[in-house]
Structure 1
């Protein structure tokens, strides 16, 4: 497949997408306003952690830099020199207070509009507030380009649905929900996406397409909140919440999720804010708001659980050192945006604990972060298994845990650490107090 495509935004979504397009034979001009990020990409370096068929994203990046298929730049005009299609992945961040920052995406639209040529395609893959395409994005393109969208150039929307950490694979396999400003716009975008994904392309109208992605995310938020509520019920009755959920899921119409230490990342925590912003003032979404509140407070409940278990072994949290394993927003991810692991660290610090955290996939950037597993666990009174990284399997975890101040309390809600230690006969019974699986014993 020949041709040049501009990808606007080179983060955890945009960079894998750009490299997937390179893998399909396109020449890609990747655009990002972050000069430091672009300079690192030009050197063949990135902190985005992905693999495809055993090859790391960084290796794929270096390969396509060398071949000339991938060109990172801070200037969107570079993409316009020979490209006729632009895919936009710039996000709409949501603050801790729930306010939306639409400026980065709208500024990108204005800059893109200034370089558009007749018959170009603009395909927005960002998750947006439903209605933002019609109310803000398309008008911004019209104003900046001085052309008529849907007549002089094509505009379409198809939000990404990939999971960070699996984006290189899922961009090429998942179904896509697509909408165009006109049928011709949709056909143009569908043709492009058909060369990227083997999944089905479902064509609908603009508002439905925008809502679909947000509803997918908020469904996860509500289901995870339900899992956390079930966990509280299980604890009250002294039963294993994971065994309870496993048994309930043997019913063919039940699909309960498992609770953890919280919900992180860019998409799921933002879904309620996007939906709320799309409704008139005074309209409320009480179920979704409640679910968001339950999930936001999960890290605090995790810390409280740890504190109670420490008391049970004769220790006080404000006199303890707590180790956190994994800082990513979920297992297998080094994205720390809205990470529940970081929220746990904040709550621990507020309650007077000393915090040390180790994640071999996350660049050093936090004052409590340490560079080795040994320095994280040495003298620790408690351990929170927050985000499991595959790299943890390469360490002698049993030996490292013996460096804790015994008895050490372990919060390992999904038994990821415990499973890793199960086959190690050197881990003596009674050295660790497991505060996990939803049962206080």
Structure 2
């Protein structure tokens, strides 16, 4: 199957790199996003997110005429949907999957679909989302046939293929990692493989759409459970006055033990979100997965309590007044050396501390120019200023900028083991 034009719907942390990599293979790519500022930035050959080397690839693709961004879908031979899937309130709580962005993207491309087109859902989704997307497309375009009703003879091919990349290494992993492709039919899978083989050097492995959806959720739930073990271990170790970083290092010398590193919680739009999609679909059966989520979601409160104790220790030892307390939070992104703050526990901690200690909290975040609206009242300062002015230092993200300095003077609450 030959793709002369490919459209990527959603130009965020996955969509834009995917569009850029496709365009770098001399394929015409039309990127679509509702954010006019992002569209204008891309069309100027620049990027609106932080990802190593992405700016170079995008600039070259735009300059050479292979990549163009717009706010309205245009005809293409294939459509890759990479839009957010947040939470909403539902019967089982506040962690029900919200598919409104997928629905909106589906209905927006429906008007430009033609016979022979391929539609691939890349958004991390609950099981059944690809089938629902196909139903929305069919409803909007009754003049076309779709695989859920016409099988191999359908006018439109539909598949699910989740991304599995690491922020900071997206361009390399998009190309090198294996891809799990879940076509609604065999011909749907074959069409999707033909598209991904334009740039993927890894193996393209086929399955059905539901299994591919569950595979993505399983991968991130596996990681979440293992992180929960590390986070719970850090809490137990603190209670027993044991250095958890030394403990994990020693335990990992066992040839069959590989404990992950604890932190202030779990963030990002994958690991912090995907397990809930499994829980929402099988709440009675997904006991371990839900428990791991609860452990990781509760870690920020534990960190805040550690800061409260640190403030009390400072006031007691220095005989200072409350007005003298200055707290510095180091890092806001959900992992090191990126600007992505989606579901970040560091942001949650900084916000709550700023409410508990008004006008006493500063943040250091070298990867973000402007603080999120929730932290508008908090001062963003340099590393040098924080080291000089704060007496409570809360390390939340182990950015490279923080590794090259000796620990600051004062009381440390180190959630990443960088300064202990």
Instruction: Determine if the alignment matches structure 1 residue 356 to structure 2 residue 362.
Output: yes
| CA distance in 2 between partners of 1:45 and 1:318 (Å) | 46
Q: CA deviation at 1:262?
A: 1.1
Partner of 1:380: 390
Equivalent position to 1:389, from 396, 399, 411? 399
| CA distance in 2 between partners of 1:246 and 1:391 (Å) | 23
Which ranges in structure 2 are unaligned for 5 or more consecutive residues?
148-153
CA contact (8 A) 1:300 1:347 kept: no
Equivalent position to 2:415, from 398, 413, 416? 413
Equivalent position to 2:342, from 329, 334, 337? 337
1:63-88 residue CA offsets vs partner (Å, 9 max, x unmatched): 221111110100102xx1xx211111
| CA distance in 2 between partners of 1:252 and 1:47 (Å) | 43
1:264-323 residue CA offsets vs partner (Å, 9 max, x unmatched): 1111111232113324xx735332222111111211211222332343342689652111
Partner of 2:134: 138
| CA distance in 2 between partners of 1:2 and 1:133 (Å) | 22
CA contact (8 A) 1:310 1:317 kept: no
Q: CA deviation at 1:14?
A: 0.6
1:119-167 residue CA offsets vs partner (Å, 9 max, x unmatched): 1111111110111212x11101112222112310111111111122221
Partner of 1:16: 17
The alignment's TM-score, normalised by the length of structure 1, stands at 0.85
| CA distance in 1 between partners of 2:49 and 2:327 (Å) | 27
Partner of 2:222: 219
CA contact (8 A) 2:3 2:195 kept: no
| CA distance in 1 between partners of 2:292 and 2:247 (Å) | 21
For these two proteins, the number of residue pairs brought into alignment is 399
The alignment's TM-score, normalised by the length of structure 2, stands at 0.89
1:332-363 residue CA offsets vs partner (Å, 9 max, x unmatched): 22101111111111231232251111212113
* 1:234-273 map, 5 Å: 234-273=237-276
| CA distance in 1 between partners of 2:321 and 2:237 (Å) | 24
Q: Over aligned residue pairs, what C-alpha RMSD do you find?
A: 2.3
| CA distance in 1 between partners of 2:84 and 2:195 (Å) | 21
CA contact (8 A) 2:110 2:137 kept: yes
Partner of 1:65: 62
Question: Structure 1 stretch 229-238 or stretch 330-339: which is displaced more?
Answer: 229-238
Pair 1:390–1:24, CA change in 2 (3 A): farther
Q: CA deviation at 1:371?
A: 4.8
SS in 2 for 1:172: helix
